[in-house]
Every structure is written in C-alpha cells, then in structure tokens.
Amino acid sequence: MDDKIYKTLKEELNSTFTDEYIYNAGMLIHEMADSFYKEQKLEDKVYFDDSVFEYCLVDIFVDIARLKYFHDIDLVNYIKLMAYTASWCLKRKPFQLKEGAGTDYIYVNEKFALSLLLQASGCFDSDWKCAEKDGEKVEKLVEQIFYHLKYRNTNPQTLELMLIGIETGKFLNKAC
C-alpha cells in the first residue's frame, strides 16, 4: 500500500487541466447560468446555489479528465462539455426553489439544461433560421427534449448523442 501514490483531487485535476482552463470553463458555465437566471426572471422564486454549482464543476472536470485519459485525447469538444455540464446540473440541481415558489418552477434545472443543449446545438446562433412551416415541428422537438430531460436517462452520452443528431439533421437539411 505504501508504494501507491495518492493524489489529491486538485493535483489530479491540475495534471489534466490548467488552472486557467478550469477557471475559464467554470466562468463560462456560471455566466450561462447567470444569463438564464436573469432571462427567466427567477429572482423571487429560485436561487442559484454556488456551493452546489462548485460540486457540479468538480464532477464535470473529473468526468472529462477520465474521458481524456481513457480515449487518450488532448481536447474535449464543446458539445461533449455541454453534455456533461447539462447532465451534472440535472443531477446536482444548482437552481434551488425558494419557499412558496410554486409548481411552475419544479423543473427549473431541466429548463436550464435545455437552454445549455439548445445553445450547444447552435439553435441560438443568430444565423440559424427555421422555415415558418417548420416552426411547429421545432417547437415539438424542443418539447420532446424537455420531456426527456425531465423523465428519461440523462447521462452525458445520451445528451451528446442527441446533440450529434441535431447537428446531423441540420447538415442533412442543408444538403437537400
């Protein structure tokens, strides 16, 4: 047992990521959460728990470090980062209801995860357009994704596959 070297979590993460990467990725995700919080006008009904969010970040980075080690890759793409982020936010639930918030806010973490996934899929890009006749189909798709986030298995792999499917659909639509 003495010949094994045990690393602290910080040492483990720093052997995979720079402090700058951890800080920048954490700030990016926190800014997305802050924007969501403000856009949804959640101040009176929901609060964002920074302690829970810190655990989300640790979980995200540990999973990505394992992924990088397992697949022997240097960089993880944005889609993968957002899939892991959405998955851990669904598990840890950094958005917490205030007393008396009501049932309208029960799925606030799922709604945040949905916003992360839609952003990662490019659905909020300024140049993304949908034909007017397809608007109803897009709304239905978003409703189905939200349903999945609320009631189905939301591990990072399923969320990543969903994002890849959306990306493929956009590519095929342009090709036709």
Is the Cβ–Cβ distance between 43 and 98 less than 8 Å? no
Mean pLDDT (whole number) for 32-55: 96
Residue 17, pLDDT above cutoff 90: no
95/33 Cα distance (integer angstroms): 9
- Residue-level pLDDT at 2: 47
Per the prediction, the chain carries an average pLDDT of 87
Residue extents of the structural domains in the chain: 9-175
pTM: 0.86
| Distance spanning both ends of the chain, measured CA to CA | 61
Mean pLDDT value across residues 103-107: 95
| Percent of the chain at pLDDT exceeding 70 | 86
What pLDDT score was predicted for residue 131?
59
Q: What is the model's pLDDT at position 130? A: 60
Note the pLDDT of residue 168.
86
**Taking residues 58-77, what's their average pLDDT?**
89
Across 72-85, average pLDDT: 90
Q: Which pLDDT value is given to residue 135? A: 73
pLDDT of residue 1: 42
Please, where are the H alpha helices in 48-100? 50-71, 78-92
Q: Could you give the count of Cα atoms lying within 13 Å of 144 in the half-sphere of its Cβ?
A: 8
Residue-wise pLDDT tens digits, 108-160: 999 999 999 999 987 655 455 665 677 788 889 889 999 999 999 999 999 99
